[in-house]
Amino acid sequence: MDPQYAAAYQALYRRHWWWRTREKILLRKIRPILAGVRRPRMLDVGCGAALLFDALEPFGHVEGIESDQAAVEQSGKWRSRIVVGELDDSYRPTAPFDLILLLDVLEHVRDPDQLLLQAARHLTATGRILVTVPAFQWLWTAHDDLNHHVARYTADELRRVFDRANLVAVETGYMFQSLVLAKLLVRGREALTSRVARVPTIPPAALNSAIQAWFTVEYALAGRLPFGGSVVAIAAPR
């Protein structure tokens, strides 16, 4: 992650409308996945400073794996739950997981099939993988450059990645539908001017809350539409 972005990330995650809305949507997805599972175990891949752990812990036991040592050192009380490293053959958890999260992770890797294959190895027989990725290559902007993205995905492309990783797509869809127009406007502006990547800022509190409310309601009403700024998907072992 860009150093300036990394420095701002905790504040953005805790307050910015995009991260707040995404967390609400994700928790809505997680509840039915873990309903009825006794003492569920969760793994957050690319967990950073464990900013989602407080919201996940009420569901069960949560652990993380993160390659950025500096991010892990900011995880506070969750530090002992995080393995510093990659999700590869060297990773040896004590037991399989009922839910593995790869939240805005796959767009950073050149071999998503292999990462998902590794994740699937650590699932229980009835476990699930929850994935989010940025949507549509034609929405690429300087923000993707800032985040060192390799690709943006469609729901169909993500389903094909699941298939190659011997996973079954249980659910795929989009979030942030009306953000597509805003991203297209940014692309148009960047085509006419210099393409400069800027770290996001948090809008004034009232505006921030209003935008969060808009996207929360939008997802409830229009979440089935076949477009959006991000893809959200759930996969199961084949």
In angstroms, the CA 42 to CA 55 distance is 12
Whole-prediction pTM value? 0.96
- Once rounded to an integer, what is the mean pLDDT over residues 39-66? 98
In angstroms, the CA 48 to CA 108 distance is 14
The domain 3-237 is placed in CATH, from the list 3.50.50.60, 3.40.50.2000, 3.40.50.2300, 3.40.50.150, at: 3.40.50.150
- pLDDT of residue 133 exceeding 80, the answer is yes
Query: In which band, very low, low, confident or very high, does the pLDDT at 151 lie, cut at 50, 70 and 90?
Result: very high
Instruction: Write down the residue that tokens 């300087």 correspond to.
Output: 142
pLDDT at 4: 83
Within 10 Å of residue 56's Cβ, how many Cβ atoms? 24
pLDDT at 153: 98
How does pLDDT run across 205-214, given as a tens digit for each residue? 999 999 999 9
Sequence-distant (6+) residues with CB within 8 A of 158 are 106, 131, 133, 169, 172, 231, 233
How does pLDDT run across 104-132, given as a tens digit for each residue? 999 999 999 999 999 999 999 999 999 99
Mean pLDDT across the chain: 96
Sheet with 61-66, side-by-side order of all strands: 82-84, 61-66, 41-45, 97-103, 123-134, 230-237, 167-175
How does pLDDT run across 77-99, given as a tens digit for each residue? 999 999 999 999 999 999 999 99
- The domain ranges of the chain are 3-237
- Once rounded to an integer, what is the mean pLDDT over residues 149-155? 98
Query: Residues 219, 204, 107, 64: what is their CA dihedral angle, to the nearest 10 degrees?
Result: -90
Contact 65, 46 (CB under 8 A): yes
Token duo for residue 144: 């993707």
Query: In which band, very low, low, confident or very high, does the pLDDT at 193 lie, cut at 50, 70 and 90?
Result: confident
3-class SS at 161? helix
Query: In which band, very low, low, confident or very high, does the pLDDT at 3 lie, cut at 50, 70 and 90?
Result: confident
3-class SS at 185? helix
Tell me the CA end-to-end span of the chain in Å, nearest whole number.
33
